Amino acid sequence: MKDKIRVGYISDEFCQVPMLPLLVSFFGMHDSDEFEVICYMTGTADTLTESFREASDEWRDISKCGDETAADVIRRDALDILVDISENGVAEKIFERRPAQCCLSISDMAEKLGGIPYGMAVLPGMPIANLLPPFRSRGGVTLGIFCSPKNMTREEVSCLKTILKHVPSAKLRVSVSVPDASMAEPLLSAGISAGAIELAVEDGMNWESLSDVDVLLGFGELRTWELYMSLYAGVPTLLSPSSPLWMHHFLADNGFETWAAASFETQAEAAIRLARGKEMLAKERASLRAKLQKTAVMDVRRFMNEWEAALEKLARGDESSEERLAFCRKNAKKRFQNGNFRSALRFLEEAYAIEKSEEMAYIRGVSLWKNERLQDALDIAAEWLDDSKLRETLTKEQLYAWCDLRALTAGHADHENTEKYLLERIEASKPLALETQTGAYGQWLLSFNAKDVNEKELFQKHCGYQKLFDGITPLKPKNRNHGKLRIGYLSPNLNHHVMEYFVWPFFECCDREKFEIYGYNTGKIDDRTETLKSFAKGWHNLEGKTAWEIAETVRRDEIDVLVELGGHTSKSGLAAFAYKPAPVQISGLGYMATTGLTETDYFITDGFIDPLGMNDEYFTEKLLRLTSQFCYRPRPNLPESKGVPCKANGYVTFGVFNNYLKITDEMLCVWKKIMDIVPNSIMLFKSESYSVPEMVLKSLDRMEKLGMDIGRIILEGASPDYMERYLNVDIALDTYPYPGGATTCDALWMGVPVVTKYGTRHSSRFAYGILSEVGLSELASKDDEGYVERAVGLANDVELLDALHKNIRGMMQNSNLMNEKTYMKEVEKLYEEV
């Protein structure tokens, strides 16, 4: 079998063109172990051409070659397959000269891929969140047409007339290239009212034009990029009978049969139904992008798997099932071990279809999870865990691995059963190593911080953690032969992480005349790790080490005070405390409750979060109260708020940037009440979870069931401009009982007031403590009624909001929350006292 398949791509559009997101989908993700990509440019180069050149293995500019010469150039490259990836068939004449063993147009490949000719990559400049339905601001439903009325057929004009007759309030937005009123003449002549027609002068479809369209009518020659673009924007797109057949198949195969019209009559019926059902329109606007992202069109990893499978079949031909299984198993394992989960999945899917072995099943499940196909990962875990016969075949290590996969995935994809699966993982961990047991138990404890359980119950659950260490022998203390106090900081987040905003003072602002700083990083290593390391006397990267190994490292360094900053979060290294490697051990900042370990001597807090006597009995540790538990250092060079955005927008934007796992149904109901009272408002949710289409759809379904108007909701995934997005938010709404720590500080730094609710439980009071430090404690409430009252009050007082946006940053800078020197003097005084 030959080593690599040589694939050629020919196009005249390796440049800045509307097709760019579609062409990019072919590059940057090819399996370099199996394919070599050679590109042939027949068009004009521009500034983007170089990026295509860099993404290919070889590059040929044949733009000045005749057809015969171009064919000769290609022939010398000895290709296995040559594909014309332009939509206009630029290589037809070259193909006639048979320059490669197999020459295919994009439409030929579409047939082999089940009707999808291109994937679509997300590029800078494309909106990262759903657009709001324009009918809310435009006073009625807007139908969009992106072809000249002069080129419309009689049937298309008649279809329009029928739609407007049944929906007289609808507007018709017609895209034209020149400001010429005569463009509307064919419509006026058909009896369509001039008042219903809006001529929009623009150079074709763009994101701004789609933001004004509720329903797109696919008249004329609807191109592939136009269909993808409109669906991505959340605009229901109704095909004409003359639209390409593959488009009809694509919509029908993905649940939009009524949008793939077999006649102009059915196209009109579909448009009328959508235009009359504004709730349906709002729902499609909110969910359509996520639905598109679940298809091979926007799941570029899935598209590339299908594309490469088709290329491979063309190049290698058919093999026996035994040969094919061996080939797929070998390549799946290799790619999985190298972390190439996208390519691994292609071979795993095929291997699993031939032979359902546990090994292939498990790495397929993990690869599905890594490829963000959460429901598919859950389904295969259920296949092996819920079938008693299959479950009995698993070793204890395999059983835990499957339970771990299910628990990890369920946290996002199966919210209702998460606790059941976390307990299942704890049970499976019992025969295994201590680190496995503590990790499973710790993740279960972490989940309770988002639940409204009382302090006593939470404390009891955490005390159960101690039992995992029965029989552990503490390390013998090492003789200390140093003058300065040695302080060790143990954390999985000494890297790019939200906790980095709070750990800087420990390393950079310490008093080096009195203290020596040691860092113990149990997480990933990046450039932030190296920066923090430069401030330390000693440093150890301990990711993957056992609790005993971490403890022994600390003991050898003769640490006097060991401070852990992760608690029961993943990879924290907390279990090392059970070995008592330092005479004084302190926890705090990165976790929201007691560690449950008697070996942890102290817990860092402050008087706002834990007033004297309120929660002391619910900690195995003695509480150390600072003036402020946190000291926040924001990212540098962030712009300041120039004022409240609702003044320019004309509506209030409530923002929730907290982790999705902190959002409870109870809080969603409170937010619904706020939105009902403030009808001229929207809610922007931003979380990494919303980068996963399944999570968007599940969230919208959850919100809709609770009665929220999802036409006023935006779900936005992670993006580099996270902090800048706060400038589009008027009021931040906090979660309960698991409030924001870093997100509260981030919002305030960008000028956004935060409304929070707090109880008596330590973990529910983080935001209250931060607001109190800044002088904004009146934004915190003890109950839902007060929470709603404060949010609505701010929304109705634009001048107060504007003043807050302009002044909160200064209030933070003048508070203890950002006084690093004072904070560290207080911290280090406590170190000396204990």
Query: For 378-393, what is each residue's pLDDT tens digit?
Result: 999 999 999 999 999 9
93 backbone φψ class: left, alpha, beta (φ>0; ψ -120 to 50)? alpha
For 249-271, write each residue's pLDDT tens digit.
999 999 999 999 999 999 999 99
Is the per-residue pLDDT at 591 higher than 70? yes
The CATH number assigned to the domain holding 212 equals 3.40.50.2000
Residue 637 makes CB contacts below 8 A (sequence gap 6+) with: none
Asked whether residue 458 is assigned to any structural domain, the reply reads yes
The CATH number assigned to the domain holding 34 equals 3.40.50.11380
Asked whether residue 263 is assigned to any structural domain, the reply reads yes
DSSP at 760: S
Please give the share of the chain, as a percent, with pLDDT higher than 70.
99
- The reported pLDDT for the residue numbered 2 is 59
Is 0.85 topped by the overall pTM? Answer: yes
| 376 and 278 in a common domain | no
Token pair for 764: 């529910």
Contact at 8 Å (CB) between 525 and 554? no
For 396-408, write each residue's pLDDT tens digit.
999 999 999 999 9
Confidence of residue 624 (pLDDT cuts 50, 70, 90): very high
**Amino acid, res. 487:** I
Token pair for 128: 């990262």
Segment of 29-33, 353-357, 606-610 carrying the highest mean pLDDT = 606-610
| 671 and 783 in a common domain | yes
| 617 and 674 in a common domain | no
Contact at 8 Å (CB) between 758 and 609? no
For 60-69, write each residue's pLDDT tens digit.
999 999 999 9
Higher pLDDT, 314 or 617: 617
Asked whether residue 81 is assigned to any structural domain, the reply reads yes
For 290-312, write each residue's pLDDT tens digit.
999 999 999 988 899 989 988 98
| 767 and 654 in a common domain | yes
Average per-residue pLDDT for the chain: 93
Confidence of residue 478 (pLDDT cuts 50, 70, 90): confident
Is the per-residue pLDDT at 832 higher than 60? yes
**Amino acid, res. 605:** T
| 622 and 529 in a common domain | yes
For the chain, how far is it from start to end, CA to CA, in angstroms? 69
Distance CA 728, CA 686 (A): 12
Is the per-residue pLDDT at 549 higher than 70? yes
Is the per-residue pLDDT at 479 higher than 80? no
| 782 and 684 in a common domain | yes
Asked whether residue 190 is assigned to any structural domain, the reply reads yes
**Amino acid, res. 804:** L
Q: Which helix (H) or strand (E) holds 468?
A: none
Is the per-residue pLDDT at 821 higher than 90? yes
Torsion (CA) 29, 30, 32, 33 in degrees, nearest 10: 110
| 653 and 606 in a common domain | no
Asked whether residue 833 is assigned to any structural domain, the reply reads no
Provide the strand spans (E) within 640-791.
652-656, 681-686, 713-716, 731-733, 754-757, 780-781
Number of other residues whose CB lies within 10 A of the CB of residue 29: 21
| 147 and 245 in a common domain | yes
- The reported pLDDT for the residue numbered 113 is 67
Confidence of residue 653 (pLDDT cuts 50, 70, 90): very high
**Amino acid, res. 750:** M
Asked whether residue 121 is assigned to any structural domain, the reply reads no
For 174-192, write each residue's pLDDT tens digit.
999 888 889 999 999 999 9
- The reported pLDDT for the residue numbered 476 is 87
Asked whether residue 651 is assigned to any structural domain, the reply reads yes
Written in H, E and C, the secondary structure of 115-180 is: CCCCCCCCCCCCCCECCCCCHHHHCCCEEEECCCHHHCCHHHHHHHHHHHHHCCCCEEEEEECCCC
For 511-536, write each residue's pLDDT tens digit.
999 999 999 999 999 999 999 999 99
| 450 and 565 in a common domain | no
Starting at the edge strand found earlier in the chain, the sheet holding 584-588 runs 538-541, 515-521, 485-491, 561-564, 584-588, 602-606, 622-626
Q: Which helix (H) or strand (E) holds 728?
A: none
Task: State which of 242, 274, 293 marks the end of a domain.
Answer: 293
Token pair for 48: 């983007």
Asked whether residue 530 is assigned to any structural domain, the reply reads yes
Q: What is the pLDDT averaged over residues 317-344? A: 88
- Overall number of domains in the chain: 5
Is the per-residue pLDDT at 322 higher than 90? no
Number of other residues whose CB lies within 10 A of the CB of residue 92: 12
**Which residue range(s) make up the domain with 328?**
321-464
- The reported pLDDT for the residue numbered 10 is 97
Task: State which of 431, 464, 497 marks the end of a domain.
Answer: 464
Is the per-residue pLDDT at 1 higher than 70? no
| 662 and 802 in a common domain | yes
Q: What is the pLDDT averaged over residues 630-645? A: 95
Residue with token string 């929660």? 615
Distance CA 490, CA 499 (A): 12
- State the burial class of residue 374 (Cβ atoms within 10 Å of its Cβ: 0-12, 13-18, 19+): buried
| 219 and 146 in a common domain | yes
- The reported pLDDT for the residue numbered 215 is 97
| 181 and 267 in a common domain | yes
